[in-house]
Amino acid sequence: MAKFKEKIREITRRNRSLRLGETIEELNAYIRGWGNYYKLAAIQKKAEKLDGWVRRKLRVIKLKQSKRVYTIACFLRDEGVREDHAFMVAGSGKGWWRLSKTRESHRALGKEWFRKQGVVSLQSVVCKG
């Protein structure tokens, strides 16, 4: 698990100058390989936790790439967050990791949004027979 997390940290570093789509492609290849290797092990619960952690790391990347208060707020608003809540989150002085845990971030960048972006779930790879 430690090696898996270290590689995910390397792929999802915030200071890499890759688009989110490129990061997702690299991440998907690693998750598929790792999931297929450990498919026979009983790691369904761990896979669920790791999926949540990976999604949070991707939320951080998306928020940081938006950079400014206005663009973050517009993105959140476009994804269905109320405008006043979007601007409160975007204008917050909290760090990226903490902002990625907010209810508004989860609402805008939920499992469905990641599915549309093509993010592979470790849990779905491991649980496929």
- pTM score: 0.77
pLDDT tens, N- to C-terminus, the chain (129 residues): 788 889 989 988 878 878 888 999 999 999 888 877 776 666 777 888 889 999 999 999 999 988 899 999 999 999 999 999 999 999 998 999 999 999 999 999 999 999 999 998 888 777 765
In contact, 24 and 118? CB cutoff 8 Å: yes
Give dist(CA 113, CA 127) in Å, integer.
21
The token duo for 75 is 């993105």
